């Protein structure tokens, strides 16, 4: 593989999938540099460590759901360049079925350039590559796969038109739909009405509602805006401050699981994948959120995106340790 540094070894999934989750989204190779502090505009900083690993919000969330015990199919489009071929092999070796992965012969696979500081904070630049060519017509080839799913999870690292069409197909089949609106981008009103569960973090919620979202009270106000736009349920993740659930039945706050964070890359993906897996296994929404919060917190205790995704047993152990689950 091009470049120098440590190449992450793919994890292997062991355990019987118990439910059907369809993830529509991106798959990338992550080029990560660890440094003392994040660079300011025009500043050059010296990196301490370089790692080549695998990411993309779609792939991350699919593998998070897989490790959380769900049966998962990832629908994605991957280039056939050197990075893309290695990425394809990694996804198959990790337990995802090849039938959901399309090849793009002209565009290289997606890349993410990531800088992580000593506090675990990060800056990320994404080159979409083949992800940007995952088109609406590609989804029609996947319609038989959608028939087997009970829940669809998607994000915004592929064209918005494809995301909207995937949500529309899923709703027509009676599937539960989850949209993680990241990377944040303006959404037309037509998208909100297709979303059963919207899962922005505080930055995304702030951008989409054009108001500050830092506290639970501010998150509650932002969530009410999303509900008025047509979403049925809103979960705003607040990082180390926990998560807020808002729906017609009312508002509920979920406190954080306090862990020693070393790298926040992929925490949101761990949350969303675990949430989807928990819901697809018939957990109640509050139970699924607690499970997802635990998964997201555990992911910050390790470096990398997919490398940090916790196993179902780890999440359950943390929940028992905190007296939340027997």
Which two tokens mark 26? 């991106």
Query: DSSP for 42-64?
Result: T----EEEEEEEEE-HHHHHHHH
Q: Given 30, 81, 138, 269, which residue is catalytic?
A: 269
CB 234 within 8 A of CB 246: yes
Query: DSSP for 198-210?
Result: E--BHHHHHHHHT
**Phi, psi (degrees; rounded to nearest 5) at 218:** -70, -35
**Phi, psi (degrees; rounded to nearest 5) at 299:** -65, -25
Q: Is 263 a catalytic residue?
A: no
Report the alpha-carbon distance of residue 58 to residue 38 in Å, rounded: 26
Which two tokens mark 107? 């565009």
Report the alpha-carbon distance of residue 276 to residue 174 in Å, rounded: 15
Alpha helices in the chain (DSSP H): 57-67, 82-93, 136-140, 143-147, 160-172, 189-192, 202-209, 216-228, 267-280, 285-299, 312-321
Report the alpha-carbon distance of residue 139 to residue 216 in Å, rounded: 37
In which order are the strands placed within the sheet that holds 233-237? 101-104, 71-79, 20-24, 151-154, 176-179, 197-198, 233-237, 243-247, 250-254
**Residue listed under structure tokens 């460590």:** 49
**Residue listed under structure tokens 């639970």:** 216
Catalytic positions are 269
């Amino acid at each position: 593989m091009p470049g120098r540094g440590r190449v992450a070894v793919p994890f292997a999934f062991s355990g019987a999938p118990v439910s059907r989750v369809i993830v529509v989204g991106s798959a990338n190779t992550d080029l990560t540099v660890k440094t003392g502090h994040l660079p300011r505009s025009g500043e050059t900083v010296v990196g301490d460590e370089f790692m080549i690993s695998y990411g993309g919000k779609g792939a991350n969330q699919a593998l998070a759901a897989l490790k959380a015990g769900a049966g998962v199919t990832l629908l994605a489009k991957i280039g056939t360049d050197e990075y893309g071929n290695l990425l394809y092999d990694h996804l198959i070796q990790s337990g995802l079925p090849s039938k959901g992965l399309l090849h793009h012969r002209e565009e290289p696979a997606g890349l993410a350039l990531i800088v992580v500081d000593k506090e675990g904070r990060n800056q990320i630049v994404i080159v979409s590559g083949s992800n940007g060519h995952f088109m609406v017509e590609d989804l029609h080839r996947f319609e038989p796969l959608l028939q087997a799913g009970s829940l669809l999870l998607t994000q915004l690292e592929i064209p918005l038109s494809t995301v909207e069409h995937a949500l529309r197909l899923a709703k027509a089949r009676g599937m539960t739909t989850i949209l993680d609106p990241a990377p944040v981008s303006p959404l037309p009103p037509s998208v909100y009405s297709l979303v059963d569960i919207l899962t922005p973090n505080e930055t995304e919620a702030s951008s989409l509602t054009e108001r500050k979202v830092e506290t639970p009270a501010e998150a509650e106000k932002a969530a009410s805006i999303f509900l008025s736009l047509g979403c049925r349920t809103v979960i705003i993740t607040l990082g180390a401050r926990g998560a807020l659930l808002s729906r017609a039945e009312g508002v509920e706050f979920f406190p954080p699981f306090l862990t020693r964070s070393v790298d926040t890359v992929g925490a949101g993906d761990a949350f969303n994948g675990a949430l989807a897996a928990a819901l697809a296994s018939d957990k109640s929404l509050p139970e699924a959120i607690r499970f997802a919060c635990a998964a997201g917190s555990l992911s910050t205790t390790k470096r990398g995106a997919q490398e940090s995704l916790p196993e179902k047993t780890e999440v359950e152990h943390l929940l028992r340790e905190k007296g939340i689950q027997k």
